[in-house]
Amino acid sequence: MYTDEKSSPPVTPLDEEDRAAPPAPIPAEQVHLRPTLERSLTWPAWFEVAKALVIWVASFMLLLFIPVIVALPYLLYRLLSGGAPSAQAIAGDKGLLFFSVLGIWPAHLLTLAIAWLIVSEGGRRPFWKIIGFEWPEGVSPMTTTLASVFAGLALFGMAWLVTFLYGEKKTDLDILIESSTYTRVAMAFMATATAPLVEEVIYRGVLYRALEKAAGIAVAIPIVSLLFAGVHVYQYRNNIAVILVITLLSIVLTVSRAVTGKLLPAFIIHLVFNGIQSVFIVLAGFVDSEMLK
């Protein structure tokens, strides 16, 4: 029989190991997330703290300058139309106060954008997962939500009692919300729609995460709590009772972040606390108007 010397050798049967099914392909989302999450764990602790401090300083500076920039056109209009007003007139100008409050909104949005840009490295890392904006593990979302809402209600009740008994002096916030109806509504909207999210992202999401990684819970809790309370001291400097309330709120929010390991419970507590306060801010204006009639 004729055989072709160039023909292929006979195929030998495969061993059992060779016949094993090939590994399943890795889902596309895991291919994207796994390297970034692994890289997030390799950054030195000091570098994470440095990035967190940059974000915190940026948020503070934006709150100082953006409201001024937003109110600047109105101030120029006042100067051109009526000459240079006195310092007392500027301090009591309802329009200037309104635009100053309005400027907090873009300051908050820019703060969130900067935090996202630095933490996610321009979108290459999962921002919300890194800062822990998730439900705690091992507890149902409903249980977490109810517990957080109850904590927010309890904190507001304590805050109201303390300020009712000891808080007699008006703060800068009181002056703002009493200046006009539109300033009051703008402040209430900001306090509910943007402040809880942005403040929790910066303090309990970015700062706490970095400090806990670098120095542990025992160091991260007091530092973050004091930083959050400290930035509000000047605003409430005339009322020690309000400062104590803000400090208590800050401690509870930070401890919640430490105990649960996630950011969502602290955000819900903060949202409930500010939301109730905003309702009272808006209603107080109508009550005062009715009393003046």
- 168 contacts 160 by C-beta, under 8 angstroms: no
**Given this model, what pLDDT does residue 32 score?**
47
The phi, psi pair for 108, rounded to 5°, reads -65, -45
CA dihedral 115, 106, 59, 114 (to 10 degrees): 20
> CA–CA separation, 134 vs 162, rounded Å?
32
The two three-digit tokens of residue 288, written as one number: 């005062």
> CA–CA separation, 241 vs 95, rounded Å?
29
Model confidence at 16: pLDDT above 60: no
Mean of pLDDT values over 32-45: 54
The two three-digit tokens of residue 3, written as one number: 């055989």
Percent over 70 (pLDDT), the chain: 81
- Give the pLDDT confidence of 156-211 residue by residue, as tens digits: 999 999 988 887 678 888 888 888 899 999 999 999 999 999 999 999 999 999 99
**Given this model, what pLDDT does residue 235 score?**
87
Model confidence at 139: pLDDT above 60: yes
The b-or-e profile of 173-211 (16+ CB within 10 A means b, else e) is bbebbebbeebbbbbbbbbbbbbbbbbbbbbbbbbbbbb
Model confidence at 27: pLDDT above 60: no
Q: What is the pTM for the complete model shown?
A: 0.82
- The pLDDT-based confidence of 80 (bands split at 50, 70, 90) is confident
Model confidence at 72: pLDDT above 70: yes
The mean pLDDT value of the chain amounts to 85
**Given this model, what pLDDT does residue 2 score?**
46
Show me where the domains of the chain are located: 45-125+132-292
